Structure 1
């Protein structure tokens, strides 16, 4: 993965503004030489990789040096680039001078840049000399495949039909019927049905199929699904269940103690027939823990049930109530072939193969080798669907490892990972190690991180977001990630999860490569890389029992810090090189004092955090692309300096927001504003003017108790808008005649809509999803040729006569 680091750095350096002669003067030549040397370095890395993985410590040291010097090169060049950005934003007399000449401070900075570049080049010279001593070949023959075939939006959506739905089962039909029957039988007492099997055997897939069946949905009045995993907190599980069964708001749940959550859940379920699914339970006392403060799940003698999945039989038998334990069998030979065939040779591929029978013969032998494990069959099938030559299939069959030593799944994963098209996609896949076990990953947030990390290349005629969506699609088609939700509007994958076995492999690979280190209460402090010389430049901290003090646990060279569920996070001034900062469910210390110094930060996300105050120095973050403060408790109003950042593209804000008078940089693509508090105040006129300047938006979302009616008129000039979410207006007297022709999704809620909206909205040529609430009129009329692309229509709180 040092290769990925070098290539990402080269790509980023090429995009920086430091090529301007007026900025760098004599340093410009040094920059060009440095870039050329980094380019040359890439070709040695192919040869180094094989030797490094064979266990040569000298090569490990050499690879570590390459990564370090690449990041040092990027850092020093961005110092000069930052200076140029800052000067271009200056106003008044000093601003005019700095744009045409260099101020004394700038000359000092440029001198330091020149000295630093020479130092980095000396390091590179030493690295090249080491390459000669280590006898690396200069390999220019292998080129990464970075081209993504173009498809229209319609064709792109259809590709998803080729992904086998996670809920489609092979070989579990009888078991599915048996478990459904147990859940809906006539037994009145509260009881448990447990599914027991090893990892990768299909427990969750079967449970999902049962949970989503129409029989179960109709039988139970309330259903809830929670994933427990190895590291869980009972209070979090209970809040999740309460949210699902009662529709409780997240901000209200945050204020509730464990006893109150349990009591309200008990009282609500006392008169309901319910089903609660506990997926992936590891500990025998889990049921006791979530009922510790109060018995949350009552036995009302009405046929309520608990469905549990686990790898351990003692867990299945521990709950003190009637229990049916179902041991999930492995797939037999025919079932294994059926699943493997659906992944490796789906119908759209079979049609293109002449000698399909030869592949079938090899495929049956390979399917037998997977020992009846659905995960192994799916991942191997996904890999072989991209390698349709019989020699490859024969080689895998001949080299097949023994299943007794537990290496089978690892070998399949390693092959599939190595087969990914380029280093960009391999970096994207290893990034899944950053997320906790069984975590539902938002693809939109993931893509914003990938872009901030410079994993997504700039390709002709392709937006980076489009390329990233296709990367997610590729990983899904290979069965390396599990698809949870897809978008009705775009056909895109919205949320994914990675299987525990695949995540464990990603963590080990990421640590070995020095790509990312995972710190949790199991692994303890970070740093278990493959060698003492390999430094991880990214850290993911998950579910520690105690607080996180960054200067003790995180390297001052760290470029990425991802934190989940830590009681308190104390930041330090050592984190000046951060590019990505992502924190969830934590309380922050010292953040406002250090953020102004993190000038390279590109991605800043706080979700469900406390102690967040944004100082005016946030405006110094001239590379910031995404800021996400949704569902976070703010201790300050968002400063107006935020809107001066020229690179800002995606903004998600909560309550503490006051619109500035003007928007200096109008390149925003996403703006989402959630003003949930009734006491939130803003000037209606200023807000409308502020929003009206965002003419490059593709997504606009605003949730507040009373949206100013004037807002409905601002969209005519937003010609790029694709998604609009408005919740909600008081009274809308009229619907504007003009909406963006690019609009694909419109969600519009109001207490009262007086004018029939359909004659206007039906003319939108691209509209796919429409949700409306509040129309009160005598008639609603749609023409025969209206809504040419409509797929989903939801009407709520409508009152019409005709």
Structure 2
């Protein structure tokens, strides 16, 4: 990973203001020299990396020194750059002076910068001398950046559901039948048992999301147990799922209170609870130790459990059907393998496909019926459609003893990733806990903050990062948890625990990332290996954290209880979830290099007013965190800020004059806020403040109530892709200035007086629409309206008549109608929609299953579901 470190530094230098300064001539020349030396170093790393991995300990030390030198160079260069950026933002007389001459304090700092640069140069000289002694080919190894294969960037063309169920179709039907067996009324369990990588979670997820299961049970919930579970946390998660309560009202609830509320709710409902990845025999007892949370109302409720251990499957204290998940037979193995290695969308372009099939069948047989091995190997070979490559793997097939088969497949697939950027992105997944569902948007912001995403001509960083996610999915190195099919967008992913364990080991060996989990006994590698990590992940700690080096650049933490952070002046990424912090404001103010600040569902957090001094900050995420202070207005002085997720925190927009001035500099792309406002001028200032964000691609604001003027601010926002706005009181009509780029719109109001469809149906890119509150008697979708809309959700309408003209909604596939109380008959125009495949009616008792339109839709193959 030293190559990644050097490339990261070199890639960032082009954006540094220090290169443009008029008065730092000496420092600027030294910066230029450092850049040349680092480019020279980059040329050595491919040869050095090969020798290091072959076991040359002296080369390992050299690679570590190269990485250290690169990071030290970046630290010292950014210090000078920070002075320049800070001076540009100063106001008044001192600001004018600092823009044309150095202040005395700056001269002292720059003198230290010069001395540090000299020290780094001396270290580089020693590195070059060592490389020559080790006979590393320094001059003949060119800097040739790995490129993605030609098919990189191909749209994600196959359904994940279609692929993951290969081989499990019969078992899926058998288990669903067992769960919804009406002859067995008492509470009972179904346990799926198999080794790691056999497909337990995949099968359980497919069962959980099947339409038959959703229609049969009144309420369903899914929790992943894993090895480090806490009963109270699982119960809270279940309560949130079944009752819809938010975190704020659940976090401080006691265990017996949670258990009782779950019990009382489930007593009145036929329920299904899925416990995925159970390791301990007493898990069920721990969930019910305070109160019997899961009652037996003799109504056919069920528990679905997955585990690697048969004694765990049999230990649940209720009638249990244990289903051992068999390995795939030879034909099913080939079916799964070929769906990955030779997917339908690629077969037409493959010459001699029969030869590949012969080799593929032999390779699939070698995987011993293990779905994870078949999927990962198939994903790897899909990127290497070369008969010689396939033959070589078959001839060199590793021994299957001691679990080496899976490890060797993973190592081969990892090495085959197209460049070191993507290898860094993959290893970074080791920072997330076991079975964690990773939000792709969050992950992308982290990758960008880490400089893992290279600048690509004609592509935004976010676009390249999304392609990286798709590449990992296509190689089966990550699994899709949730996706928005209408947009072709992957929303959440997870990494299998076998792959995660491999990533942790590889990341430690590379000095890329150190994972410390006190619950599982995982200790950091820094005390064992000479290679010190610059990234640390801490999980489940109850005391102060101690990274392996004070120069740590990344700190990722999960479930820390009352922890004080150390001072880490070179920190670039700080991501903390589900934790309580002490003295946070004292620590954060000195982290001038910070790019990403994520505090999610945390307590004890106060943002200092000086947060505006973090001039490199790109993302701040306060989702589900309640600050002990208001959000400081100095946040909007940060010129690099791209994404602001403020959660439900107190926030007062800057006065209009300051707002207008600062927003001219601001390049904010995403803004999220959920808050009941305070103050007499709050509404007016908020509309002006948000209206100046002209670079926005995403806006999500939920206020109580929302100022009506907020719906009229979009005329100068040409880049918006999604909008979520609520809760308006009364809107007389919708404006006709929604951006033409809009793909997703969710708008909630108590009353919308005029038909919104004539406005919205003209949006050419709109794919998803959620609309609530129209109170008119009639509604019309005209011919050629909504040309790309695929999913439509309408709620709390008083509409009696809905006219759908021929040619309207040509691509609508999923329609949800919620509490349309005055609509007693569905419009016949639904029968003319060529793509409609799913209709959901929620709380619409006035529409019966005998409705003629429903019967005709079902005859045409449309799935119709009622929810009450």
TM value normalised by structure 1:
0.96
User: Are 1:448 and 2:471 matched, yes or no?
Assistant: no
| Equivalent residue for 2:171, pick from 172, 175, 183 | 175
Indicate conservation of the 8 Å contact 1:167/1:209, yes or no. Answer: no
Kindly tell me: are residues 658 and 304 of structure 1, through their superposed partners in 2, closer, same or farther at Cα, counting changes over 3 Å?
same
Kindly tell me: are residues 678 and 271 of structure 1, through their superposed partners in 2, closer, same or farther at Cα, counting changes over 3 Å?
farther
Q: How does 1:236-385 map to 2 (within 5 A)?
A: 236-385=233-382
User: Are 1:499 and 2:496 matched, yes or no?
Assistant: yes
Matched with 1:161 is 157
Kindly tell me: are residues 223 and 615 of structure 1, through their superposed partners in 2, closer, same or farther at Cα, counting changes over 3 Å?
same
Matched with 1:593 is 586
Indicate conservation of the 8 Å contact 2:47/2:141, yes or no. Answer: no
Moved more, 760-769 or 50-59: 50-59
| Equivalent residue for 1:479, pick from 454, 457, 476 | 476
Q: Cα distance, 1:293 vs. partner? A: 0.7
What residue ranges of structure 1 are gaps of 5+ in the alignment? none
The one-character-per-residue Cα deviations of 1:379-402 (angstroms, maximum 9, x if unpaired) are 000000000111111111111111
SS at match of 1:165: helix
Q: How does 1:392-431 map to 2 (within 5 A)?
A: 392-431=389-428
Matched with 1:630 is 623
Kindly tell me: are residues 65 and 562 of structure 1, through their superposed partners in 2, closer, same or farther at Cα, counting changes over 3 Å?
same
User: Are 1:212 and 2:209 matched, yes or no?
Assistant: yes
Q: d(CA) in 2 for partners of 1:9 and 1:351?
A: 42
Q: d(CA) in 1 for partners of 2:623 and 2:189?
A: 38
Q: Cα distance, 1:532 vs. partner? A: 2.9
Q: How does 1:757-768 map to 2 (within 5 A)?
A: 757-768=756-767
Matched with 2:2 is 2
Q: Cα distance, 1:149 vs. partner? A: 7.2
Q: Cα distance, 1:147 vs. partner? A: 6.0
Q: d(CA) in 1 for partners of 2:653 and 2:474?
A: 43
Q: d(CA) in 1 for partners of 2:162 and 2:286?
A: 30
Matched with 1:647 is 640
Indicate conservation of the 8 Å contact 2:225/2:234, yes or no. Answer: yes
Q: d(CA) in 2 for partners of 1:616 and 1:36?
A: 39
Kindly tell me: are residues 468 and 374 of structure 1, through their superposed partners in 2, closer, same or farther at Cα, counting changes over 3 Å?
same
Q: Cα distance, 1:305 vs. partner? A: 0.9
SS at match of 1:11: helix
Moved more, 598-607 or 103-112: 103-112
Kindly tell me: are residues 531 and 140 of structure 1, through their superposed partners in 2, closer, same or farther at Cα, counting changes over 3 Å?
farther
Matched with 1:571 is 565
| Equivalent residue for 1:469, pick from 466, 470, 473 | 466
User: Are 1:70 and 2:66 matched, yes or no?
Assistant: no
Indicate conservation of the 8 Å contact 1:525/1:553, yes or no. Answer: no
Q: d(CA) in 2 for partners of 1:178 and 1:460?
A: 51
Q: Cα distance, 1:656 vs. partner? A: 1.4
Q: d(CA) in 1 for partners of 2:23 and 2:782?
A: 60
Q: d(CA) in 2 for partners of 1:150 and 1:775?
A: 46
The one-character-per-residue Cα deviations of 1:510-532 (angstroms, maximum 9, x if unpaired) are 00000001010156475325963
Matched with 1:86 is 86
User: Are 1:657 and 2:654 matched, yes or no?
Assistant: no
Q: Cα distance, 1:167 vs. partner? A: 6.7
User: Are 1:187 and 2:188 matched, yes or no?
Assistant: no
Kindly tell me: are residues 270 and 163 of structure 1, through their superposed partners in 2, closer, same or farther at Cα, counting changes over 3 Å?
closer
Q: d(CA) in 2 for partners of 1:525 and 1:246?
A: 36
What residue ranges of structure 2 are gaps of 5+ in the alignment? 802-868
Matched with 1:791 is 790
Task: Kindly report structure 1 stretches of 4+ aligned residues shifted beyond 4 Å.
Answer: 146-151, 522-526, 677-682
Q: d(CA) in 2 for partners of 1:166 and 1:629?
A: 36
Q: d(CA) in 1 for partners of 2:312 and 2:390?
A: 40
SS at match of 1:309: strand
Indicate conservation of the 8 Å contact 2:698/2:720, yes or no. Answer: yes
Kindly tell me: are residues 489 and 113 of structure 1, through their superposed partners in 2, closer, same or farther at Cα, counting changes over 3 Å?
farther
Indicate conservation of the 8 Å contact 2:163/2:339, yes or no. Answer: no
Q: d(CA) in 1 for partners of 2:522 and 2:678?
A: 43
Q: Cα distance, 1:759 vs. partner? A: 1.0
Q: Cα distance, 1:255 vs. partner? A: 2.5
Matched with 2:837 is none
SS at match of 2:135: coil
SS at match of 1:780: strand
Matched with 2:122 is 122
Q: Cα distance, 1:370 vs. partner? A: 0.3
Q: Cα distance, 1:455 vs. partner? A: 0.4
Indicate conservation of the 8 Å contact 1:630/1:674, yes or no. Answer: no
Matched with 2:851 is none
TM value normalised by structure 2:
0.89
Q: d(CA) in 2 for partners of 1:245 and 1:469?
A: 32
Q: d(CA) in 2 for partners of 1:328 and 1:633?
A: 44
